[in-house]
Amino acid sequence: MAVILAVAAGISRGWAQPVQEEEPYWMKWRLTDAYLKLDMEGERETVSSAKTGSQTSNQRIYLAPAIGLGAIGSIYHPDFLALTLKAEPGYVWQQIGPPGGPSSHETSWLQNYNASGTFLQTKPYSTTLFGSGTHDIHQYDFFNSAVVDVQSWGGSSGYRTGPVPMTVSFLQSHEDLRGLFSGSVLDQTTLNYHARNERAHENATDLTYLYSHYDQSTDGFGDQSDSHYVTLTDAEHLKKSTLNSTLWFNQLDSQSDSSTSVNAMLDLGVEHTKNLRSFYDYSFNHFTDAGSEANQHFLRVGLQHQLYESLTTGLDVHGNELQSDSSGSSLDAQSVGTQGTVNYVKRLGSWGHLSIGNVASYDWTQQSSSGSAVVVPGESHSTTLLSPQFFLTQPRPVSITSITASGVPLNEETNLNTGGDYIVNRTLTPWQITLDYSSSKIQTLEAQNAGTVTALVTYLVQANPSGNYSTFSDEFQARLDLFRQLLGVYFRLTKNDSAASSPGFVFENVMEYQAGADFNWRGFKLDANYTDRHSTLYDFSASTLSEGYSVKVSTDSTFGLNLRQEWADYPSQHQRATFYDFMGSYEWRPALLHFGWTAEGGLQRQRGAGLDQDLYTARTYFNWNLGKLSLHLGYEFQDQNFSGELRKRNFAFLRAMRKF
């Protein structure tokens, strides 16, 4: 109580006597904001299953009046401890239950706040402590949003001058996503250390260490993981050469698996003349988990020559050594090869631009294998909501050891585990994996990584026999832009052909081409392309169209429209897939009327290839500011169908604020 009275006394002095000069004083406060706030939310959700015929509805009413205060202050002097505070203490009342049925009431205290304190802010070793709490709408992607309560606290410090400036930061967060039928709680702890030494001639050494603890519980399914991530980079510039080196370490410990990865890379480039340079690259990769270990060395030496301003050629020789052991199986492989590149870029007067490129390589490999399976560690695949599927690159998979994304382990969705994060189609060769973007874990990763979730897949494949084989790869691409990039046409041809000393080897020989055109004119964008792929494992063809249009309707309003359609055919697997996507938006912000209106809507439909889904969304928001009064009104509608599992959500809210 004494502390509260002292703070109140400090605030009152700050009001009565505004300080012009900052003289030392044991505590000062200045009120910067004061307001009354009211949050009202109504939500109704219906979940049904086409498989069981069941349907359940639930609804929620939420009221939260609050008082908002904002202040800045200091203890002794702002240069000793500067403080900022924004708090919204309030009362929360909720009613949850089925429409027309029994409901439960919940009451609690609202914990919306944002506070920070900085010690010795003018010193290179200044330290900041902070804490925050929010109750707000989280937009995971265009088709998914939810109401999320987040509490976080942490701090940062360091020494930001001298030969090696360094910073260290800590963050602890608790995220509570409460759906009407399902819920997710995520606790994350991160510790980040960064140091950098910059020297003359742009030479620099950079060190980053990141520790992360991840603990998520979704509908009774829990995941925990700890990861340690270290990156050390160095750049050295000599008279005519540049040496870049990188050391990367990642250790992941989870409930289902533990793994360690170490990568080291050296890249030396030497400029011999204005048009001729050579490069020397070496990399080492190490991977180990509970049942496997793999080590790989790669060495490359090459030349790059620029005969004309528009013509660049390159040639290299390279070698690779791989040692892999997994569950009683082993693989030792050595390969040598060469690669040539040609790139031609030419401006065709004022009307066109031409670019042509070709990369061709030849590799010979000798391998000795024993056992039935070998490990493929950390194969990377990038996915989005619009393209959540991918094929494994190696034929004859046996089992998937682990799939992680940003150091977070993902779980397979099965009949026993309906709360999983991905689905595996084992009837196809290679296997096809689909990330489930309705999973709260995938949606969280999607929001943290700008809409992209990169999956690292470690899996076992049947081993090829001992022997040798050769691989020839060639990729040609060309693009012609016309009329100042108004119209563009492009073409790509890829060929991959392998031959082995034994008929027991299984490879994927590929012939693939893509042709297309794009058009850009006054906010209108159009792209059309056709892809045809033939391989020894599976054939594939696809036609894709995408259209976009954005226009400034008036000085105060804009309109945008984006569409995408794709028709895919897998003839060898007797599958077809269609995809349709539509997203539109309109925004009106008349400056003289002090309000803004936004409307967005879209649909996404996919059929075939192991995934049937329909996603519909529509939302509109109205913001109005009149003097010290502000209103924020919104409505969101979501209708989702994932392979017969249906979910409909209606959500409306009103946020009113009156400042003083």
Q: Where exactly are the structural domains of the chain?
A: 377-461
- What is the share, in percent, of the chain residues with pLDDT greater than 70? 94
Mean pLDDT of 534-541: 89
pLDDT, residue 1, reads 33
Mean pLDDT of 264-281: 96
Nearby residues of 388 by Cβ (< 8 Å), 6 or more positions away: 434, 435, 436, 437, 611
Nearby residues of 473 by Cβ (< 8 Å), 6 or more positions away: 359, 360, 361, 362, 494, 495, 496, 497
Which of the four pLDDT bands, split at 50, 70 and 90, describes residue 322? very high
Residue 223 has pLDDT above 80, yes or no: no
pLDDT, residue 24, reads 79
The alpha carbon torsion through 342, 343, 348, 354 (nearest 10 deg) reads 110
Residue 555 has pLDDT above 60, yes or no: yes
Please report which helix (H) or strand (E) contains residue 610, including its range: none
Residue 363 has pLDDT above 70, yes or no: yes
Classified as helix, coil or strand, 419 is coil
Mean pLDDT of 287-297: 90
**Best CA proximity match to 247, nearest among 289, 205, 211, 299:** 205
CA 304, chain centre distance (Å): 34
* Residue corresponding to tokens 């999983």: 420
* 226 strand-pairing partners: 213, 253
List the structure tokens of 53: 């015929």
Residue, of 100 and 84, whose pLDDT is higher? 84
* Residue corresponding to tokens 């909720």: 94
Q: How far apart are CA 164 and CA 158, in angstroms?
A: 11
pLDDT, residue 8, reads 36
**Best CA proximity match to 340, nearest among 301, 300, 313, 308:** 313
**Best CA proximity match to 422, nearest among 407, 394, 406, 400:** 400
Distance (Å) of CA 267 to CA 244, 297, 575: 5, 14, 45
DSSP assigned state of 573? G
Amino acid at 419: G
Classified as helix, coil or strand, 296 is strand
Residue 14 has pLDDT above 50, yes or no: no
List the structure tokens of 457: 């897949």
Residue, of 107 and 355, whose pLDDT is higher? 355
Residue 190 has pLDDT above 60, yes or no: yes
Rg (the chain; Cα; Å): 30
List the structure tokens of 486: 């108004």
Contact at 8 Å (CB) between 424 and 397? no
Which pLDDT tens digit goes with each residue over 483-531? 988 999 999 999 999 999 888 898 889 999 999 999 999 999 999 999 9
Which pLDDT tens digit goes with each residue over 296-310? 999 999 999 998 889
Based on DSSP, count helices (H) and strands (E) in the chain, helices before strands. 2, 35
What are the two backbone dihedrals, phi and then psi, of residue 448, each rounded to the nearest 5 degrees? -75, -20
Which of the four pLDDT bands, split at 50, 70 and 90, describes residue 414? low
List the structure tokens of 90: 């309030």
**Best CA proximity match to 195, nearest among 169, 229, 170, 164:** 164
pLDDT, residue 415, reads 54
**Best CA proximity match to 409, nearest among 543, 223, 602, 168:** 223
What are the two backbone dihedrals, phi and then psi, of residue 502, each rounded to the nearest 5 degrees? -135, 140
Residue 475 has pLDDT above 90, yes or no: yes
List the structure tokens of 248: 């990367």
What are the two backbone dihedrals, phi and then psi, of residue 220, each rounded to the nearest 5 degrees? 90, -10
Amino acid at 136: D
Mean pLDDT in the chain?
Answer: 89
Mean pLDDT of 84-113: 88
Contact at 8 Å (CB) between 267 and 293? no
Sheet with 408-409, strands from edge to edge, namely: 373-383, 453-462, 397-405, 408-409
What are the two backbone dihedrals, phi and then psi, of residue 10, each rounded to the nearest 5 degrees? -65, -40
* Residue corresponding to tokens 């954005």: 550
pLDDT, residue 19, reads 46
Residue 260 has pLDDT above 50, yes or no: yes
List the structure tokens of 415: 């009949």
pLDDT, residue 15, reads 38
Neighbours of 657 (CB within 10 A): 18
pTM strictly above 0.85 = no
List the structure tokens of 290: 């509970």
Per-residue H/E/C for 498-562: EEECCCCCCCCCEEEEEEEEEEEECCEEEEEEEEEEEECCCCEEEEEEEEEEEEEEECCEEEEEE
Nearby residues of 12 by Cβ (< 8 Å), 6 or more positions away: none
Q: How far apart are CA 408 and CA 444, in angstroms?
A: 11
